[in-house]
Structure 1
C-alpha cells in the first residue's frame, strides 16, 4: 500500500484502487470512519461465512451501527454496537445468535482492538408475510 498527501487529503493506493482519507468528511473518509468500517466489515464477513458453513440462508442482511466516544481528550472510540437485521432466514433466532456469538473470536479486527474498544453485536429476524 502506498500513501500520498496532496492538498490535505491522504490517498491510500492499493491494487489500483484509491481511498481518500481526510479530517474533512466531505473530502474523504475520516480515520474514525475507516476504523468503524474495519470493525463492521470484518465482523460481517465472519458472520456471513459462519452462516454459510452452518447452511443458514437468508434473503437480505442490513447492518445498523451506533458508536460511543470518550467525551474528553482524543475522544477515542469506546464502543461499537453492530445490529444485524436478516430477512428470509431459514433458521431460528437462537441459531442466528449462536452463529453471531462466534464472530468476535474469529474476527481479526475485533481481536486486534480487544480490551480497548467494546464491540457489541445483536441481531433480529424480520419475517415478511
Structure 2
C-alpha cells in the first residue's frame, strides 16, 4: 500500500498554503466569511480532482486508440446540500470533445474505462454520492 500526504500551512485570516507534488497552492475563503479570496475554496477542488483524474485517463486511452482531438474539456457540476455540513450529494461529469469525425463508440469506451477501471477519484466518490455522465461532441 502506498500513502500520499498533503500538509497545509495557515498564513493568516482564512488563507492556507498547500504544497502538492512540489507545487504551491493558496486556499482561501470569500471576503464575506473573513477571507481575502486569494485562492480557491476546498470543495471546488474536489470537483477539480475528479475532472483532472478522469480527463487524464481519457486523453491517455484515446491516444492509444489513435483518436485525434482538436480540444477536450471536462466539466464537473456538483450539487450541494442546503444544510450544514454542506456536502456534494451528486456530481455530473460532462466530457466535451471537439474534433473531426470523432467515433462516439471510442469516446464512450474511453470514458467508461476511466470511470469503471482507472480513475481512483471517481471510484472513491461513487462510494458516497451519485455520479452521472454526459458526452458532447463538437464537430470542427
TM range (shorter): 0.7 to 0.9
Give the alignment of 1:1-129 within 5 angstroms: 1-7=6-12, 8-14=14-20, 16-24=22-30, 26-104=37-115, 105-128=117-140
- Alignment RMSD (CA, Å): 1.9
Per-residue CA deviation, residues 64-91 of structure 1 (Å, 9 max, x unaligned), is: 3321112223121112212122111453
Question: Normalised by the size of structure 1, how large is the TM-score?
Answer: 0.86
Distance 1:14 1:100 in 2: 26
Cα distance, 1:121 vs structure 2? 2.3
**Corresponding residue SS for 2:69:** coil
Gaps of 5+ in 2: 1-5, 31-35
Alpha-carbon distance between aligned partners in 2 of 1:50 and 1:15, rounded to the nearest angstrom: 24
Matched positions, count:
128
TM-score (norm 2): 0.80
Q: What 5-or-longer segments of structure 1 have no aligned partner? A: none
How many Å apart are 1:114 and its aligned residue? 2.4
Looking at structure 2, the residues matched to 49 and 120 of structure 1 have their Cα atoms a distance apart, in angstroms, of 21
Judging changes above 3 Å, is the alpha-carbon distance between structure 1 residues 12 and 60 closer, same or farther for their aligned structure 2 residues? same
